[in-house]
Amino acid sequence: MSRLSMEAFADRVTELFPQLARGMARHGNNYLTKGAITLPQLWVLGYLSRNRECPMRELANFMKMGLSSVTGMVDRLVKQGLAQRRRTDEDRRVVFVDVSTKGRKVLREIMDQRRETTLNLFETLTAEERSTYLSILEKLVEKLSQNWK
């Protein structure tokens, strides 16, 4: 590939990322790919599975969303039986949320399918190409975790 300007590179990456995401999603058959839950709802389930029974405010901070927006998202997860809420007797205003048993099962199915798709997709690359790709992804995630503008 010829050397691209940063603008041309950005345009190409912006074009390819959605194609990659859609292509990978086509290989799944689960709550996410069927549209039963959204990607942000999947992020919530993942967070809850790693951080058992967390306060709604903590979940809102993680999602970088307002409490009312996260409440609506959790409402939908609770309605589907994927999450559950609990209030404490000490302070009824504090609401804790946790992933349900069904939510854990759904999350595991999604993650297992994603893993299988990734294995199938990346088996066409050499070990060196996979290592380079992983190194680049790690650098990008590190950059995103910093406060940059």
Q: List the CATH number of the domain containing 82.
A: 1.10.10.10
Residue 1: which pLDDT band, with cuts at 50, 70 and 90? Answer: low
Is residue 28 within 8 A of residue 110, CB to CB? The reply is yes
What pLDDT does residue 61 have? Answer: 95
pLDDT surpasses 60 at 26: yes
The separation between CA 33 and the C-alpha centre of its own chain, rounded to angstroms, equals: 13
Average pLDDT over residues 73-77: 96
Is residue 59 within 8 A of residue 74, CB to CB? The reply is yes
Q: Is 44 exposed, middle or buried (0-12, 13-18, 19+ CB in 10 A)?
A: buried
Flag whether 1 is in a domain. no
What pLDDT does residue 14 have? Answer: 94
Q: Which tens digit of pLDDT belongs to each residue from 118-145?
A: 999 999 999 999 999 999 999 999 998 8
Share of residues in the chain with pLDDT > 90 (%): 72
Domain count, the chain: 1
Flag whether 64 is in a domain. yes
Flag whether 74 is in a domain. yes
Average pLDDT over residues 38-66: 94
Q: Which tens digit of pLDDT belongs to each residue from 83-118?
A: 999 988 888 888 999 999 999 999 999 999 999 999
Average pLDDT over residues 27-31: 84
Query: Which residue range forms the structural domain that includes residue 74?
Result: 6-145
Flag whether 102 is in a domain. yes
Task: Please count the residues of the chain.
Answer: 149
What pLDDT does residue 148 have? Answer: 59
Long-range contacts of 5-14 (CB under 8 A, 24+ apart): none
